[in-house]
């Protein structure tokens, strides 16, 4: 059974690494059955070394069979270029299934190119909803869920969300591949002591922040508000800068951030896990980082008006603060002052990848 996996953006490399690593183990346990074979296509949505190649090296992801080199651009142009390249790659590879992850433009292009060629689509991280249609990601995930044959949900909430849209066939609650990833990589990520000492930081004595969403970065007044809030926390704040945020800060004229704010380039996944694990507090608009905070037992403040990962909020580990400086500072103080109870396991048991492969190997082709 031949899988064609489409990746393009940072979190997709991390998610895809889990399944790519599991395939040989899965095959070795299935002597006598047809083996799962995977080819990877990289759209080129992310292309800086620290946004792409670093994850292939660190996580041992196989080299892509096709690299489309699409790069950045407005949504229509970027997605359209991906569609052209993906259609060619899919026609050449003739896979039984196309596998897509998450909710980026690469996810949408992968799903759309496949379904038009009558290749069934498997969507990992199906059923997530923010119910905010102003987010490009919400449009992408709704569209891809509705064109997929297999919908692999990380949570029971995601299954319910799909049910509300009439999607019940092909829906599988498997757990979160990012939890698989964290469990596998945490021990390999090291203590990160060198990182902190290079930055002049001490464990459990700094906040770690990430911001990259268009909704946050594209409005200079919001960026300024957040930078102001970071200066009020009474803790050094470490901010690994997504390239979108780096250029937005430059354009917003935030040349001299408050002295407690340390700006660094994006870091590798292992370094990120080390920095998260040792942070006293995490502030973020990232989906993946909210969950990692939860799994690592670090209090989190979400710099958005809503979250798809409602379980982290229900368990008391995540506060939805929006982007108003006063609200952010108040949420941070509240988060630091309270120790929630043990988080439970709403994201599965770390074996989502095996479940996904099992479903695909049993039901997935070859196509007649």
Instruction: Confirm or reject binding of residue 323 to ligand UD1 (CB under 6 A).
Output: no
Which among 42, 172, 212, 242 is annotated as catalytic? 212
Least distance in Å: CB of 139 to ligand UD1? 9
Ranges within 17-76 binding ligand UD1 (CB under 6 A): 45-48, 51, 72
Task: List C-alpha distances in Å: 350 to 146, 154, 175, 254, 281.
Answer: 26, 11, 7, 41, 24
For residue 203, give the 3-state DSSP assignment: coil
Ranges within 89-108 binding ligand UD1 (CB under 6 A): 103-105
Candidates 72-80, 126-134, 163-171, 267-275; binding stretch for ligand UDP (CB under 6 A): 267-275
In terms of C-beta density within 10 A (0-12 exposed, 13-18 middle, 19 or more buried), how is residue 246 classed? middle
Instruction: Confirm or reject binding of residue 361 to ligand UDP (CB under 6 A).
Output: no
Task: List C-alpha distances in Å: 177 to 56, 57, 99, 188.
Answer: 17, 19, 13, 17
| Angle, CA of 144, 146 and 147, to the nearest 5° | 65
Residue 103: φ, ψ to 5°: -150, 25
Choice from 35, 136, 143, 315 touching ligand UD1 (CB under 6 A)? 136
Residue ranges of the alpha helices (H) in 152-299? 156-164, 177-186, 193-199, 214-217, 220-231, 243-251, 269-277, 287-295
Looking at beta carbons only, is 96 or 103 nearer to ligand UDP? 103
Looking at beta carbons only, is 32 or 76 nearer to ligand UD1? 76
Candidates 10-18, 68-76, 328-336, 358-366; binding stretch for ligand UDP (CB under 6 A): 10-18
Q: Can 75 be counted among the known catalytic residues?
A: no
Alpha carbon distance 265, 43 (integer Å) = 23
Q: Which residues bind ligand UD1 (CB under 6 A)?
A: 9-11, 45-48, 51, 72, 103-105, 136-137, 212, 243-244, 247
User: Among all residues, which ones are annotated catalytic?
Assistant: 212
Q: Which residues bind ligand UDP (CB under 6 A)?
A: 10-11, 14, 210, 212, 240, 266-269, 272, 286-289, 292
């Amino acid at each position: 059974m031949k899988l064609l996996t489409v990746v393009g953006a940072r979190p997709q490399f991390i998610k895809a690494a889990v399944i790519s690593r599991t395939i040989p183990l899965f095959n070795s346990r299935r002597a006598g059955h047809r083996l799962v074979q995977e080819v990877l296509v990289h759209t080129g949505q992310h292309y800086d070394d620290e946004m792409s190649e670093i994850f292939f090296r660190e996580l041992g992801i196989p080299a892509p069979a096709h690299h489309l080199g699409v790069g950045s651009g407005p949504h229509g142009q970027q997605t359209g270029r991906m569609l052209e390249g993906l259609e060619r790659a899919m026609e050449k590879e003739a896979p039984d299934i196309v596998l897509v992850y998450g909710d980026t433009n690469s996810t949408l292009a992968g799903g759309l190119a496949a379904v038009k060629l009558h290749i069934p689509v498997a969507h990992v991280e199906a059923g997530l909803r923010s119910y905010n249609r102003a987010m490009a990601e919400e449009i992408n995930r709704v569209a891809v869920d509705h064109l997929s044959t297999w919908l692999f949900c990380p949570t029971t909430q995601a299954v319910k969300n799909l049910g509300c849209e009439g999607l019940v066939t092909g829906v599988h609650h498997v757990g979160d591949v990012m939890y698989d990833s964290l469990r596998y990589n945490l021990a390999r990520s090291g203590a990160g002591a060198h990182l902190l000492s290079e930055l002049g930081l001490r464990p459990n004595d700094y906040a770690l922040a990430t911001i990259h969403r268009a909704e946050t970065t594209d409005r200079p007044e919001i960026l300024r508000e957040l930078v102001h809030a970071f200066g009020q926390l009474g803790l050094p704040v470490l901010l690994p800068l997504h390239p979108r945020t780096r250029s937005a800060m430059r354009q917003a004229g935030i040349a001299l951030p408050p002295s407690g704010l340390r700006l660094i380039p994006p870091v590798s996944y292992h370094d990120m896990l080390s920095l998260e694990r040792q942070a006293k507090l995490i502030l973020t608009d990232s989906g993946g980082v909210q969950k990692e905070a939860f799994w690592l037992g670090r209090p989190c403040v979400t710099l958005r008006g809503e979250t798809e990962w409602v379980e982290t909020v229900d368990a008391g580990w995540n506060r939805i603060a929006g982007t108003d400086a006063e609200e952010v500072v108040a949420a941070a103080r509240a988060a630091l002052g309270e120790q929630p109870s043990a988080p439970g396991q709403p994201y599965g048991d770390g074996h989502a990848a095996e479940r996904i492969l099992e479903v695909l190997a049993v039901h997935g082709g070859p196509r007649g």
